[in-house]
Amino acid sequence: MTTPTQENDVEQQQETSCFGSKKDKVQYGTGKSIIVEFRDFIFGGNLIRIAVAFVLALSIERLVTSFVSSFVTPILGVIGDTNFEDLKFTIRQSNFVYGLFLDALISFIIIALVLFFCLILPTQRYGGRCVPAWIMRKCPYCFQDMPAIGTKCPSCCSSVEAVPIGQKMT
């Protein structure tokens, strides 16, 4: 049997989530005019953030591609002196231009390496949000990893007690 206090706690927990309360969210189809709903959709959601992230991603892609074509590819040209675009073989009058694939594959690998060493590693070292494994703990409700000093599980949104800094976790 639940008490009224427990029922209120359950209702309050259902109204809130890890992303804020349900009252904060924009609800569509509530009788507002189409223009107001569209405005709320454009400015009330994450659409602007996604658009900014997309534009930044495109500019980072252009920057990395420019770096690879300006600096890395000429070094490979000095070492190998091979133009991959001309590589092909023919079977029954069908040309298989595997050189284009090799060129794209090598470009992909080089871009991935440049991104890893120029963006990922420095971000993790000097400003990343990665939490070392030794200050993680399991949520007592869903058993997912969470920061030891956290008070709300990011997986199940359960409120938990924070482990004070310096106290040994059991």
52 and 97 assigned to the same domain: yes
pLDDT digits (tens, 9 = 90+) for 5-17: 545 544 444 444 4
The verdict on 120 and 63 lying in the same domain is yes
Check pLDDT > 50 for residue 19: no
Residue 3 has a pLDDT of: 54
Say if residue 152 is in the same domain as residue 105: no
Q: Which two tokens stand for residue 31?
A: 């009788």
User: Do 142 and 93 share a domain, yes or no?
Assistant: no
Can you give the residue range of the structural domain that contains 169?
131-170
CA 126 to chain centre: 18
Residues 55, 98: one domain?
A: yes
Quick check: is 73 in a domain?
Answer: yes
User: Which CATH number characterizes residue 73's domain?
Assistant: 1.10.1200.120
95 and 56 co-located in one domain: yes
29 SS3 class: coil
The answer to whether 137 touches 163, Cβ cutoff 8 Å, is: yes
Report the candidate in 148, 141, 66 with the shortest Cα–Cα distance to residue 111: 66
pLDDT, averaged across the chain: 73
Tens of pLDDT, residues 24-75: 455 555 667 888 878 777 777 677 778 888 998 888 888 877 877 787 777 7
Please check whether residues 97 and 140 belong to one and the same domain: no
Query: What total of structural domains would you count in the chain?
Result: 2
Residues 99 and 135 grouped into a single domain: no
Residue 98 domain-assigned?
A: yes
Q: What is the pTM of this model?
A: 0.39
The verdict on 102 and 161 lying in the same domain is: no
